[in-house]
Copies of this chain bind each other. A is one copy, B any other.
C-alpha cells in the first residue's frame, strides 16, 4: 500500500522574519497524525508572488495533498488567492459563497464590510469553499497537478476548525484504505533524552526493529514515542510499552499524551481533592498553569504570589523571625508557606516554591537557580532543595513543573523519590569548591 504524500507550504513575511513562531504546522501535523497521516516536508517562504508561485507549482507536482497556510487575510501582503489564480491559470472573481459568508460575519458583529475585508472574497474561479465557522476569511481548494491544493487561514483557531470540519474528512474521503502509521506517547518528567536512551539501550538490547523509538524534548517534558507502520509492529507495541513502564516507573507522568497540569488537575478531580499554591520565584506560573485547564475550579480555590517577605508573613503567616534567621530561600520558609496556604484556603494539598530566578539576586551561598520546593497536606509537608541554573524562563518553567510533579506523586502515593532529587541536588559545598 502506498503512503499519502502530504506537504505543507507556510507563507508570511512574519514567519520568515521570526516575528511570529509557526505553531500552525504543528497543529496540522497533530491533526493528521491522529488520523494516521504524516507530513513529509514543509517549506516556508515570505509574501513574495514569484516565490509562492514556484513553490505551489513545485510542491503540488510532488504530493497528493498540499496544504497552503496563511496569506488569506484582508491586507495587501496577503497573496495566496492571487498567486493560486496565476498557478492554476484561472481569473480572480468575487466568490458568491465567500461574500455571503463575509456579509453574515460582519452583520453579527455590527461591523461594516470594508474594502480590505471584501478582498477576502476574491478567489480563483473554480475553487471549492472550505467554510470558516469563526473568522472572516474562508478557505478554498482546487485540484492541480493531480494534487489536492487547499488554502487555509493563518489564524490557528480558524485553521483548526477547518481541519476538523472539512479538510481531514475530505482527505479520508479522497484516499481510502491507505497504510497508516500508529504512534504511542509516554510523557516523561525528570529524566533527560540521553539518560532515557541509555537506560533503554542498557536494559533492552533486543528492542524490536518494527517499533521505532523516538524522543522529543519539549521542556519540561521528554516525550517517548513508539511509532509503527506494520502489523508486526502493531503486535509488538503493547509489550514494548509494558517494558518501558517497568523501566521508567513513576517518571512517566501519564499513559496519555498529557501535560503535568492536565494530569494533576485530572487526579485532583478524580479524588475530589483541592490544591492551593504559594509562589515566590515562579510568580503565579503554577496557578496559571493549573487554571489554564478547563474545569480547574473544582480543584483549585486559591493561589498566593508572595513576592516579598512582607507578603509571605502577612498573607501566609510565615514567621518574620524564620525569614530573618534562615532567609526567604530556605526549607523552613517554604514549609511555612505550604502551611499558610493550607490554612488560608482550607485545601487538601499545597505547593510552595521559594528560590532565586535571576538574573540578579544570587549570592555565593544561594546562587541563581537555587530553589526550595515544599509540598504536602495537613499531615505531612516535605521539602527539597534543587538547583536549576539557566535563564529566568528556564528556571521558572522547571520549578513550576517540579511543583506539579511532586503533587502528582503525592496524589498517587508514590514513595520512591524521583531521580532528579539526586541529579538536581544543590550542593553548596561542591559548588563553592569549584569556584
Contact = CB atoms under 8 A, between A and B. Distances in A.
Contacts of A358: 294
A46 interface: yes
A295 interface: yes
A46 B77 CA distance: 30
A26 B12 CA distance: 12
Contacts of A155: 217
Contacts of A294: 358-360, 392
A1 interface: no
A176 interface: no
A181 to B, nearest CB: 9
Interface in A353-370: 357-361
B22 A25 contact: yes
Contacts of A183: 17
Interface in A304-361: 304-308, 310-311, 314-315, 344-345, 357-361
A145 interface: no
A115 B199 CA distance: 11
Contacts of A292: 283, 285, 392-393, 396
Contact of A216 (B19, B51, B157, B201): B19
Given A197-B116, A302-B307, A42 B18 contact: no
Given A284-B303, A307-B300, A308-B302, A44 B41 contact: yes
Given A21-B21, A287-B283, A13 B214 contact: yes
Interface stretch (A68-76, A88-96, A245-253, A403-411): A68-76
A361 B294 CA distance: 10
A51 B44 contact: no
Interface stretch (A27-35, A123-131, A228-236, A376-384): A27-35
A310 B301 contact: yes
Nearest to A120: B194
B74 A197 contact: yes
A29 to B, nearest CB: 3
A146 B136 CA distance: 46
A307 B311 contact: no
A394 interface: yes
A64 interface: no
A132 interface: no
A193 B73 contact: yes
Q: Choose among A279, A302, A306 the residue with the greatest number of B CB atoms under 10 Å from its CB.
A: A302
A257 to B, nearest CB: 9
Contacts of A164: none
A415 B220 CA distance: 43
23 contacts: A18-B27, A18-B30, A19-B26, A21-B23, A74-B193, A116-B197, A116-B198, A157-B390, A284-B286, A285-B288, A285-B291, A288-B396, A292-B392, A294-B359, A294-B360, A301-B308, A301-B310, A301-B311, A302-B306, A302-B307, A302-B311, A304-B304, A311-B344
Given A284-B305, A302-B306, A311-B345, 16 more contacts: A12-B216, A14-B216, A15-B26, A17-B30, A17-B33, A18-B25, A21-B26, A42-B44, A43-B44, A114-B198, A284-B291, A288-B288, A291-B357, A294-B358, A302-B304, A303-B305
